[in-house]
Structure formats: C-alpha cells, structure tokens
Amino acid sequence: MMKKPITLIILMFMTLFATAQQSKEETKVAAAVEKMRLAMISGNKADLESIAADNLTYEHSNLRLQHKADFVEAIATKKSDFLKIDLLDQTITVAGNTAIVRHVLKADSNDGGVPGKVSLGIVLVWEKQKGDWKLLARRAFKVN
C-alpha cells in the first residue's frame, strides 16, 4: 500500500524538476533572442557572429536566403538597418538541445537610406552548441 504514495511523490518531484529545467533553458533562449535583437539594432558584428551558428540559414519574407557571413555583413554594414525592433507574442519551446521561438517582429528600418516599417511573423530554430544557444535557422513571413 505504501508504494503508490511514494511512487506518486517521486513522479511529482520528477515533473517539477523537468519543468524547472525547461524554464531555465527557456530563459537562456529568451536571453539569446534578446542579444540578437539588440545586435540587429546596433550592428555589433561580434555579437551577431556569436549568436549565429556556423551553418545558419536565414530566410527573409521574400524567400531570399542568407548564410551566416551574409547575415552578419548585411546587419553590421547597415545595408539592412534596423532602428527599432519590437518582438510581440513570443513563445519558446525547448526540446533537448533544440528550441523553437515564434514571435511577431515589428520594426522601423532605414535600408539604403529609405525609411520603412516592417511587420513579420518569425520562426527561429536555436541549437545548443557547447553550452550556448546558437541561431540555426530563421524563417520570416509577412503579417498585417
């Protein structure tokens, strides 16, 4: 009779531990997303390089595809110039060493000296590499 309550208690602690671990990783992923947001505004090349995986695929809403070097260069040289970026309705799902982040990106830009407003749905795939979360893939699509 005593085995059922003990088993139940053990399962409850395991569930709480798993939830705490996932929340901890979600917090780390959120910090990586914020570092990326700030780097995209500042154009800080070192920060952009540090968050991007070497095999990054970065897809724009017009289906143009960039890899790490192109992504970093476009932002760092201000060819793609973000003045302000707001991330709305963000969700983070962590499964092992992979995280999926979804949000709406609303931004003010100044690409090529032309002011603009951007409203995009974004899906980011992050991978934990050597203890750090790295952006592995990004897909953007237009929203209202």
Q: Where do the structural domains in the chain lie, given as residue ranges?
A: 3-142
CATH of domain 3-142: 3.10.450.50
- Edge-to-edge order in the sheet of strand 132-142: 65-67, 52-59, 132-142, 114-129, 98-111, 82-95
pLDDT, mean over the chain: 90
pTM: 0.83
pLDDT band, residue 23 (cuts 50/70/90): confident
Distances, alpha carbon 85 to alpha carbons 17, 39, 64, 88, 99, in Å: 34, 11, 20, 10, 21
> Is residue 70 predicted with pLDDT exceeding 70?
yes
pLDDT of residue 13: 56
Residues with Cβ < 8 Å from 144, sequence gap 6 or more? 119
- The more confident residue out of 23 and 129 is 129
Q: What are phi and psi of 115, to 5 degrees?
A: -65, 145
